[in-house]
Amino acid sequence: MDQPSTTQTPEPDLTSTQRDQEEESVHRALESYYRAGKPPWDTGVTPPELVALVEGHEAMPPGRALELGCGTGTNAIYLARHGWEVAAVDLIDRAVDQARKKAAAAGVAVRLLHGDATRLDELDVPGPFDLFFDLSCYCGVPLHRRDAYAAGLTHRAAPGARLLMFGYGPEPLGNPTPEVASWAAGVTADELRARFPGWELLDVTPGTNSVPTFWFTLGRDA
Ligand SMILES: C[S@@+](CC[C@H](N)C(=O)[O-])C[C@H]1O[C@@H](n2cnc3c(N)ncnc32)[C@H](O)[C@@H]1O
């Protein structure tokens, strides 16, 4: 994947004073993707793994969902269209602005929030949630913020809640943005088992990408 320039200074925002150097690097890199136009991941296509969970023969009944790293809102809007009560969070305000416009155009109600998935206590997302969805957000979160991410979800999980997560495996990008060290770490099944006590790793399915990727399904204890 081409890496955009990360030298532009991002607009200051409310949370910038709390971020450390690595988090600032992540923010700058993500901001520059959205500033440059349509990021490469913004396909507008809902992945079949989420469609199966929502519409498949063992579909979950609609409930409350929280999407972490929702980008421009494609999948939050999909969930809302299928009867879910959806809140969705993204770190980059431009992405959230676009998601709000898309949701308005689609005529669906989604609570779209600009904020940090590792600092959910700062947002009005008390839960409990039946479903958490993360398409390639957690695997880009700095390693030292991942326990906070897991704690935020655990705190808001309804008994038996599911977490469906797509992530890149270790060092998937070949030449990751050098100043964002954790992007080379990716995510592994062992890491999720360790960071999500009280959850069971129910399934790991390799993705179809040219680099190692995985779909993880975790279930919160009932
Ligand atoms: C690879 S993109 C995928 C976006 C979206 N899920 C999609 O598939 O179009 C990862 C998204 O996670 C967001 N993100 C990264 N770290 C985040 C954090 N700590 N809190 C909230 N969003 C975050 C990024 O801004 C970006 O929109």
**Long-range contact set of residues 97-106: C-beta below 8 Å, sequence gap at least 24:** 98/72, 98/73, 99/70, 99/71, 99/72, 99/73, 100/73, 102/72, 102/73, 102/74, 102/77, 103/73, 103/76, 103/77, 106/77, 106/80, 106/81
Is 136's C-beta closer than 6 angstroms to any atom of ligand 1? yes
pLDDT, one tens digit per residue, over 162-221 is: 999 999 998 755 555 666 777 788 999 999 999 999 999 999 999 998 888 999 999 999
Q: Return the pLDDT at 170.
A: 87
The least confident of 71-75, 85-89, 148-152, 177-181 is 177-181
**Ligand 1 binding pocket includes 31 (Cβ within 6 Å):** no
| Ligand 1 atom at minimum distance from 71 CA | 27
Q: Which of 162, 168, 173, 176 is nearest to 207 (CA)?
A: 168
DSSP 60-110: PPP-EEEEES-TTSHHHHHHHHTT-EEEEEES-HHHHHHHHHHHHHHT--E
The predicted model scores a pTM of: 0.92
Tell me whether residue 94 is exposed, middle or buried, using C-beta atoms within 10 angstroms of its C-beta: 0 to 12, 13 to 18, 19 or more: middle
The pLDDT value recorded for residue 178 is 65
Cβ–ligand 1 distance for 117 under 6 Å, the answer: yes
* 135 Cα to the center of ligand 1, angstroms: 8
Q: Is residue 92 within 6 Å of ligand 1 at its C-beta? A: yes
Q: What is the pLDDT of residue 142?
A: 93
Ligand 1 center from residue 87 Cα (angstroms) = 14
Residue nearest to atom 5 of ligand 1 (CA): 71
Domains of the chain, earliest start first: 46-220 (3.40.50.150)
Q: Which residue's CA is minimally distant from atom 10 of ligand 1?
A: 137
CA distance 168 to 174: 12
Q: Which of 58-67, 75-84, 176-185 comes out lowest in average pLDDT?
A: 176-185
